[in-house]
Amino acid sequence: MAVTTISRSKCFGGTQGVYSHESAETHCTMRFGLFLPPAAATRRVPLLYWLSGLTCTEENFITKAGAQRVAAELGVAIAAPDTSPRGVDVPGDRDSYDFGVGAGYYVDATEPPWSRAYRMYSYITEELPRVLATSFPVDAANAGIFGHSMGGHGALVIALRNPGRYRSVSAFAPISSAARSPWGENALTKYLGSDRNAWRQYDATALIAERGWPGPPLLVDQGSDDSFLHEQLKPELLEEACTRAGVPLRLRMRDGYDHSYYFIATFVEDHLRFHAANVSA
């Protein structure tokens, strides 16, 4: 459970770090970013998990989203893990941007050769919280989760399956239904096999139908000029599932915004205040 410091910089009075550790789940060295607000100097602070999208590492969110200013003010920590195992060298893991390295989809793969290391679901829900709670002044039981695109899918799936452990969930331009997205269909077939019943535990809309959600409304922002909107993201599927299940959803279409971090930076303050109101309650 030893954590190595890769870098650490003062930022808005707190500390933005990048750390690594040996992961038993993914059988490799995993990196994560962690922002600790000034309040963490004197007490354990609530913890938000940010899950990134395809091709991202632990760096994208911490350098581009501009979240530290508001997290410092609100007194919440933000953990930003990597999006897949690194360096395990499974044949084919770098053939495309949307599968393998940088594209773990936050699942526990069951199909060889992926099943050994591609265990991002257990990594995010079990191992990383233990690492964080052991090494940093964070209150891992007082957590929210959010993410972008593939990471928005991950945040929704992880919260919906573990409602007792995440008090709030939000997403930017999430893959609403991995089973009904070309990206997701390709990845779930390879990670989980072709039996679509096995995919349901990693499909946000199926989970909403089966389990509901006892927490505050699901908060989702989606840009209207996002080039992946109609083919991959399909927020209408999320809306339909929530309506049927009676799960409150605050879905906000943002006119003219695209899929980039400029979109995330614009609205991240809203998401942080939403989570802080729930995790600190």
Residues that bind a second copy (CB under 8 A): 9-13, 16, 63-64, 66, 68-69, 223, 225, 256-258, 260-263, 265-266
Active site residue 270: no
C-alpha–C-alpha distance, residues 140 and 134, integer Å: 10
Active site residue 226: yes
The stretches of the chain forming alpha helices (DSSP H) are: 59-64, 68-74, 120-122, 128-135, 150-161, 182-192, 204-211, 235-245, 261-279
Query: Shortest gap between Cβ of 20 and a second copy (angstroms)?
Result: 19
Catalytic residue among 82, 139, 203, 226: 226
Query: Shortest gap between Cβ of 66 and a second copy (angstroms)?
Result: 4
Query: Shortest gap between Cβ of 85 and a second copy (angstroms)?
Result: 26
Which residues lie across from 11 on neighbouring strands?
14
Instruction: Report the residue number, 62 or 138, with the smaller CB distance to a second copy.
Output: 62
Instruction: Report the residue number, 95 or 225, with the smaller CB distance to a second copy.
Output: 225
Instruction: Report the residue number, 121 or 257, with the smaller CB distance to a second copy.
Output: 257
Instruction: Report the residue number, 225 or 236, with the smaller CB distance to a second copy.
Output: 225
Closest CA to 170 of 259, 89, 276, 33: 276
Query: Shortest gap between Cβ of 223 and a second copy (angstroms)?
Result: 8
Catalytic residue among 52, 149, 176, 181: 149
The secondary structure of 120-174 as a DSSP string is: HHHIIIIIHHHHHHHHSSEEEEEEEEEEETHHHHHHHHHHHH-TTT-SEEEEES-
Query: Shortest gap between Cβ of 24 and a second copy (angstroms)?
Result: 31
- 239-271 in b/e form (b: 16+ CB < 10 A) is ebbbeebebebebeebeebbbebebbebbbbeb
Active site residue 275: no
Instruction: Report the residue number, 15 or 125, with the smaller CB distance to a second copy.
Output: 15
Strands 45-51 and 77-81: parallel
Question: How long a stretch of residues is the chain?
Answer: 281
Strands 138-148 and 14-23: unpaired
Q: Which residue in the block uniquely carries the two structure tokens 């350098």?
A: 63
Query: Shortest gap between Cβ of 260 and a second copy (angstroms)?
Result: 5
C-alpha–C-alpha distance, residues 58 and 31, integer Å: 7
Closest CA to 107 of 192, 43, 210, 214: 192
Which tokens in the block code for residue 266?
């614009």
Catalytic residue among 21, 259, 271, 275: 259
How many other CB atoms sit within 10 Å of the CB of residue 108?
A: 19
Instruction: Report the residue number, 8 or 116, with the smaller CB distance to a second copy.
Output: 8
DSSP-derived secondary structure letter, 194: S
Which residues are annotated as catalytic? 149, 226, 259
